[in-house]
Amino acid sequence: MRKIKKKDKVVVIAGKDKGKIGEVLKVIPK
């Protein structure tokens, strides 16, 4: 899986915002 960078467009697949498309504002490493 490729790294996610700031400004990447991502689709939320979990949580209360599921299905929304958003921009990565902060990358939180596991």
Which residue in the block uniquely carries the two structure tokens 């697949």? 13
Q: Using one digit for the tens of pLDDT, what is the confidence trace for 1-30?
A: 577 777 777 877 777 887 787 777 777 767
Where are the extended beta strands (E) located within 1-30?
9-11, 21-23
Retrieve residue 3's tokens. Answer: 């790294």
pLDDT at 10: 80
7 φ/ψ sector (left φ>0, alpha ψ -120 to 50, else beta): left
pLDDT at 25: 72
Whole-model pTM: value is: 0.32
pLDDT at 1: 58
